Structure 1
């Protein structure tokens, strides 16, 4: 009989717990170090790409280029090559502090700039930049709190020549509550509130300018009534010095006012132009595609009218309105009953304005309608010029365009005549009012009710009052038109957007499972449904072909997977998740899409390819171009991948090259789901064979959904989805080819 085994003593629990805790801490520290190392390598990759021209098209190996990456690193920005590439400007003529602030704003960081001296910078202002001329420096602090400037490129200390143009630029992340706040009732009013401090400064400057005008009128009155009769040369000299100072102050204030108006209206013009256009491109696709391009461009031009209104004389006139009352009080104080002359003119202007605003508004609306029709006809003619010539219909289209041009010209002439009549009337009323003031004042002077000095002082004030009244009268007739445009802008800004520009997609790993569950969809304005209650499931890695007659709903299936449109009923799932619950940027980052008509943009071949994968290297671009069979053709070009595809060159590109370039663009991002809409429609035999090899190499790794009618493509598929008038006819493996005889 064997002896019982001796029990092994258990380890001391406190010691084992301490070892486990130490191991976890060490593992966490190593993971943190690894994450920091990867983050540092990612920023180094961005620096290399920025210096080589990978982002934006032009190399940016300057202070601002390096400073923007340094600031992003200090602000703990999650390094995303895609987001950084989309935030960079396209072929910027220069890249300085202004462009850098715009990039930071697109990435979700607000910025403020102020002029500073070295004694007014504190550690609490960091992280920040110092902009001086064309140079940009980083500001850092040592252990003792002393602040010094650093060259963002070399990380060496830099001496700053402190001048009046040195400004401190601070950055802060935009709060989520601010980014997701509900849109205001009036976007334009909310935007104007951002310029509250500038408006108060402008009102203050206008007040001082008008006070100088009043002081001048009272000084002239004193010279005529008191100095000249008394022959007081010493008093005349004192008043002359005072008038000279008043004129100097007025010129200074006017210069400051002009600079401030230019700065403010420039910022407002930029905000209106960029915000309206950014809103337009983030609207749901259904809202954009249902409106003709000509109508959209015409609407943008209407918005430019509002923008030009604020950058024109409108701002200066509006600033003068509050002080008309001040001038009228001064006029009654100086000349008594003479103040009724401009008052009567204001009443006459108002009555005429109310009588004419209706007819002029209707004529302007009619003219605008005819202009839009003419523009639409012109766009349609230019877009279909080849077809028109091939059918020999030049005379018919020329006659149509001639009629539209005649209608637009006639409507514009009537509207112009009405506006000129109004302008002539207002222009004639000013000298009539001035002459009436002089005649009435002369009668009062003869009767002894006022002096010559009072009359001259009153005339100075009258001419000052009549100018803004005349401008207001001319703008009054456009009030309804401007109000309608402002209302259109506010309505568009309140529309829901599909996504935000600064949105950072989650790093979700998709497998490629796609499920349609009783999905029905009908395009807006269409009588029949494009899809009617279809249901199917596509497993990850499957190669699916979709076939059917024209209008069966093949392209609609691809668009719904991309979440470009939302079905009226039913649900679409990707990896078991409803696409409504996935951010559009996150979903589309996992999908490669080749449309029927490939779109190329003004830029180099490399830039067009990097639209799908901004972080792709030149080696990646060459690899995927070689895979689709166009690398040899690209290398024969003078600049290779850096060849600029402007409009003229795009017109000369073969259709097969354009299609293959679009396929390469989709493959470059290594998507988990690849959507192909008639991908080989214009490919020749060699390019089609290269394309089929690409599909074979990705079979089992990528879910491929391809719309095609070619038998070679159908045989390649694992299953074929057959659609007929929006309904699913079958979803089975492809039939084997039948043998003859």
Structure 2
């Protein structure tokens, strides 16, 4: 007989399992609800912050919250500065295109995808969906369930509230840089240069251009065929009856060829503009992302030449040379037509093509050498011109005008000789190519006449062969005429690829230590720096700076005072030892994030074009008017800026604004906006210090003592005496670290 207690226990087991499953489901539902509520609150908070800063001057748009949602769902720890910079300060409402561009500025690769939203693979989410009626939403996945976020920030379960729009445009965003065509990792697999990789984006357009050029080639062959028919049916038979139909057919072919040419011109103009945009954005981004020590070492002319190098590519694509290259299929079709009409007569244009190619090979080698010499001489002339403008006052004071003029004249002569050689080779190419084309045309006409006398070729066929011969040789004739342009193009592409291959300051795959806040502890461990000539500027600096300490830096010109501050911020490359911030080696940190957390007053402060408010908000994009006014009061600029037209919203241009004292006070305001516990102040001219900026420095040091670390550069004993310790830099030697009393007394 079965035990009733055992039977009861057995009956209770399914109930317990069901209860346990229900509890797990309830916990999962509660966790999901908390996650959704947290996401909704985060979207609202981020939206309010962005509306208060970057978007305060534009009409609110539904896409603002969608951008916030995408930024949060990306699970990337973006700083507020990065999010604000992604869409910049705006006056027009945020659109779907702005969201896509903003995600691209955050480093995401955006692309259109097809398919119903509910069947998309989870790895594709989140996606931005837009409809023709203007509605938009973001779809994301959480715990296997899909949710949608609308423009008001409302989050719903997707299956409970599916979209009503029939056709949706979907955008997916990915950080998978390893498979991006222009990424360094992917180019390492394909062996492509940056320019070659970017051209893969235009593969479909390139195929369309080839087909378009083939259509033009066929249209071009039809006109000579109509010529043969006119000779055969009108002139030979003496009948005008077929002439109207033939003329109508020729008119249709001409109209078709014109339409195809105009369409090809539009496509080429679009490709040139698109490539120019992509290359310009990429080149500026690369220049800004390479190590400052490397970019500052290059001359201004070299930097400008790199940016302008893509102009020759743009003019090449939209110019006649690229059109001639696209006409090469037409050349082959023309030669084939000559072979059909005149048989062996096709050997004549084939010989002309090979003669053009052989001549171009010889010409290109000489042009490469001449172009290299001319480019070098032009660069040197530009450097001399810039140096002349920079040193014109010193040249006058030293009475060196005649000697300097002689130097300019010698350099100008060398440049003109190089330019003359380059132009002479270009003229030789034009003359030689014209001779080859004329000789080939005469040979084609002569051999065609022989065939015509023999009855193998009619008069119409002879005229058609002559026209086709010109079409067959035209692309190669343009090739020889453009030898100089092609050499410049090759050099520009090579120079551009070199720029894009320079390593960025922040490596893509490297793991960095996150630094939430700078507390002010700085350590120099056997730190040394070598100049561009490899000679040591200073070596063996050993120093532990505790938070709240005041450090003065002094030394002769060129001893490395500014460099020492740059080493802390990663603006210069360490040669020896290490620099630590709060116990972390600076090389383990993202330098951009580190600089954003350090208050820095440069030696040569500059203002950007825009408003004074915008220049302050670079340091703290979320600052309100109360904080701005408080800091302006601290640096002594509240009344001066208030007297300007527009006050803090006064617009300044590219030219220098205000006095030197104003520039330094404003630089202090920018530094204080960061509210950092580490303040770096580079050397300030004595004249500016005497205009009241010295009192500002003294007040800053006294307020910061014991709370914030201050490191400042100066030669003045009245300022250096405020420091807790001094660092006396000596060129090529170990710096001396001691108290102000000891070092100043020793110097006295």
CA contact (8 A) 1:513 1:574 kept: yes
CA contact (8 A) 1:97 1:131 kept: no
Matches of 1:368 and 1:427, distance apart in 2: 27
SS in 2 for 1:381: helix
Instruction: Work out whether 1:175 is the aligned partner of 2:176.
Output: yes
C-alpha displacement of 1:641: 2.0
Aligned residue runs from structure 1 range 480-559, under 5 A = 481-499=488-506, 506=514, 508-526=516-534, 528-559=535-566
Instruction: Work out whether 1:52 is the aligned partner of 2:56.
Output: yes
For the structure 1 residues 150 and 456, does the alpha-carbon distance in structure 2 shift closer, same or farther, using more than 3 Å as the test? farther
Matches of 2:613 and 2:543, distance apart in 1: 38
For the structure 1 residues 619 and 421, does the alpha-carbon distance in structure 2 shift closer, same or farther, using more than 3 Å as the test? farther
SS in 2 for 1:195: helix
Residue 427 of structure 2: aligned partner: 420
C-alpha displacement of 1:581: 1.3
For the structure 1 residues 191 and 505, does the alpha-carbon distance in structure 2 shift closer, same or farther, using more than 3 Å as the test? farther
Q: List runs of 5+ in structure 2 lacking aligned partners.
A: 1-21, 121-125, 141-146, 156-163
C-alpha displacement of 1:403: 4.2
Residue 273 of structure 1: aligned partner: 280
* CA RMSD in angstroms, aligned pairs only: 4.2
SS in 2 for 1:545: strand
Residue by residue over 1:656-697, the C-alpha shift from the partner in whole angstroms, topping out at 9 and shown as x without a partner, is 111121121122111232111114642335332123222322
Residue by residue over 1:44-70, the C-alpha shift from the partner in whole angstroms, topping out at 9 and shown as x without a partner, is 2212323435xxxxx576687777556
Residue 665 of structure 2: aligned partner: 660
Aligned residue runs from structure 1 range 575-724, under 5 A = 575-648=582-655, 650=656, 653-679=658-684, 681=686, 682-724=688-730
For the structure 1 residues 63 and 23, does the alpha-carbon distance in structure 2 shift closer, same or farther, using more than 3 Å as the test? closer
For the structure 1 residues 40 and 575, does the alpha-carbon distance in structure 2 shift closer, same or farther, using more than 3 Å as the test? same
For the structure 1 residues 405 and 621, does the alpha-carbon distance in structure 2 shift closer, same or farther, using more than 3 Å as the test? farther
Matches of 1:588 and 1:41, distance apart in 2: 26
C-alpha displacement of 1:82: 0.2
For the structure 1 residues 667 and 234, does the alpha-carbon distance in structure 2 shift closer, same or farther, using more than 3 Å as the test? same
For the structure 1 residues 219 and 27, does the alpha-carbon distance in structure 2 shift closer, same or farther, using more than 3 Å as the test? closer
Matches of 2:610 and 2:400, distance apart in 1: 35
Q: Say how many residue pairs are matched.
A: 699
Instruction: Work out whether 1:87 is the aligned partner of 2:92.
Output: no
CA contact (8 A) 1:282 1:500 kept: no
C-alpha displacement of 1:386: 4.0
Residue by residue over 1:263-306, the C-alpha shift from the partner in whole angstroms, topping out at 9 and shown as x without a partner, is 22221111222212322222222322322222332343344334
For the structure 1 residues 211 and 270, does the alpha-carbon distance in structure 2 shift closer, same or farther, using more than 3 Å as the test? same
Matches of 1:507 and 1:345, distance apart in 2: 69
Could you tell me which of 432, 437, 454 is aligned with 1:447?
454
SS in 1 for 2:727: strand
Aligned residue runs from structure 1 range 112-261, under 5 A = 112=111, 127-128=127-128, 130=130, 138-139=136-137, 168=169, 170-175=171-176, 177-178=178-179, 182=185, 183-184=187-188, 185=191, 186-226=193-233, 229=236, 242-261=249-268
Matches of 2:471 and 2:128, distance apart in 1: 47
C-alpha displacement of 1:75: 6.0
C-alpha displacement of 1:529: 0.5
Aligned residue runs from structure 1 range 325-336, under 5 A = 325-336=332-343
Matches of 2:210 and 2:170, distance apart in 1: 28
Stretch deviating more after TM superposition (446-455 or 354-363): 354-363
CA contact (8 A) 1:548 1:724 kept: yes
Matches of 1:24 and 1:153, distance apart in 2: 23
Aligned residue runs from structure 1 range 716-735, under 5 A = 716-735=722-741
For the structure 1 residues 94 and 436, does the alpha-carbon distance in structure 2 shift closer, same or farther, using more than 3 Å as the test? farther
Stretch deviating more after TM superposition (430-439 or 226-235): 226-235
Matches of 1:206 and 1:411, distance apart in 2: 38
Residue 12 of structure 2: aligned partner: none
Matches of 2:242 and 2:199, distance apart in 1: 48
C-alpha displacement of 1:522: 0.5
CA contact (8 A) 1:572 1:578 kept: yes
Matches of 2:395 and 2:235, distance apart in 1: 82
C-alpha displacement of 1:516: 1.4
CA contact (8 A) 2:306 2:499 kept: no
Q: List runs of 5+ in structure 1 lacking aligned partners.
A: 1-17, 54-58
Matches of 1:234 and 1:141, distance apart in 2: 70
Aligned residue runs from structure 1 range 464-483, under 5 A = 464-476=471-483, 479=486, 481-483=488-490
Stretch deviating more after TM superposition (120-129 or 33-42): 120-129
CA contact (8 A) 1:722 1:728 kept: no
SS in 2 for 1:716: coil
Residue 161 of structure 2: aligned partner: none
SS in 1 for 2:54: helix
SS in 1 for 2:380: helix
C-alpha displacement of 1:518: 1.3
Matches of 1:253 and 1:150, distance apart in 2: 45
Could you tell me which of 34, 37, 43 is aligned with 2:41?
37
TM-score (norm 1): 0.82
SS in 2 for 1:596: coil
Matches of 1:490 and 1:600, distance apart in 2: 32
Stretch deviating more after TM superposition (180-189 or 552-561): 180-189
